Amino acid sequence: MNPEPATMIRPKTIERVFNISDFLMKFAVYCPRDLSDPDLEHHTLPSANTQNSDLLLQLKCQFMSSSMLTILEFPDSRLRKKALSIDTVTGSIADMADQMLSAMYEAPGIGLAATQVNVQKRLIVCDVSEEKDAPLILINPKILEQSGETETQEGCLSVPGFYETVIRPEKILLEAIDREGNPFQMEAEGLMSVCIQHEIDHLDGKLFVDYLSSAKRQLIRKKLLKQQKLSR
């Protein structure tokens, strides 16, 4: 989520590097879970899609810094993919969360979902503090209760340069898992509540522009496509 106008620079070379994830997913390239293990020949090829996804995530964390995380932009179809639940909080998950936080601060923004960097895992990060010193990592976040109603001007790192009024519940109660694998519940209201709801929407393949009229959404789509074409 992006609370205020910001110019984001994403070099083409960085985009090409990150797109290796698509290549690896298509051709199911195998890499052992322990990339430092010299005895590669004893590893067997995992068959489950979940295992391949976990290995792909490890590859991304091992070989890419936060500056290499490309934030996908609307109307990229990958933003419409629904994220998968995380069964076990591994070091790779924690590393990805840390890299997402760095990318979010650099953008700059106050929230980022894993699906925005082309990782289909239920993981979001937020920091709505003015000093940017209160990072929040939520794994498998789920809203349990909601109440009230609030109107907020929302922006999004995946929809750069556009800000529109969105109506959401004012307060929420949610459950999630932290980066150490501990389940917890928390209440949120105000900007924190809006930010968390915004990012959970991303995990479900939904963007804040979906709350707008079809005409306004198509106008934003056309303008972004034009900007993206000019930047290539």
73 catalytic per annotation: no
Please give the C-alpha separations between residue 131 and each of 134, 135, 138, 151, 226, in angstroms, as whole numbers. Answer: 8, 10, 20, 24, 35
Q: Which helix (H) or strand (E) covers residue 119, if one does? A: none
Catalytic residue, candidates 73, 154, 164, 199: 199
How many Å apart are CA 133 and CA 119, to the nearest integer? Answer: 25
How many Å apart are CA 197 and CA 39, to the nearest integer? Answer: 45
Q: Where are the beta strands (DSSP E) in the chain?
A: 111-113, 123-126, 136-147, 150-156, 159-168, 171-177, 183-189
Question: What counts of helices (H) and strands (E) characterise the chain?
Answer: 6, 7
How many Å apart are CA 80 and CA 115, to the nearest integer? Answer: 9
Residues annotated as part of the active site: 199
